[in-house]
Amino acid sequence: METYTVTGFENDGTLVLNEMFEANDDQSAKQKGLDMLRAAGHEHKGARIVRRGQLIYFERCKLPGKLKGTAS
């Protein structure tokens, strides 16, 4: 088993979840991490799941006021 970390954060960068857990493989870890985010009420916020520094999953924050197709 490998140790993974799931981190959830708000648009302003505030951490809302930062938990370690174990899983057999990356796919199982992704599902378990997403389940943890959902259970904590932080689904579809900024999030990442990592294993020993390797990014397994990443979801960007939804920044308010940004227009699609703009560089700003």
Q: Is residue 11 part of a domain?
A: yes
Q: Residue 20 and residue 12: Cα distance in Å, rounded?
A: 22
Q: Is residue 71 part of a domain?
A: no
Average pLDDT over the chain reads 87
State residue 72's pLDDT score: 47
Number of domains in the chain: 1
Tens of pLDDT along 11-67?
888 899 999 999 999 999 999 999 999 999 888 789 999 999 999 999 987 666 554
Q: Is residue 17 part of a domain?
A: yes
Q: Is residue 38 part of a domain?
A: yes
Q: Which amino acid is at 29?
A: A
Q: Residue 59 and residue 17: Cα distance in Å, rounded?
A: 14
Q: Is residue 18 part of a domain?
A: yes
Q: Is residue 68 part of a domain?
A: no
Q: Residue 8 and residue 17: Cα distance in Å, rounded?
A: 5
State residue 60's pLDDT score: 85
State residue 68's pLDDT score: 55
Q: Is residue 64 part of a domain?
A: no
pTM: 0.80
- Domain hosting 45: range is 2-59
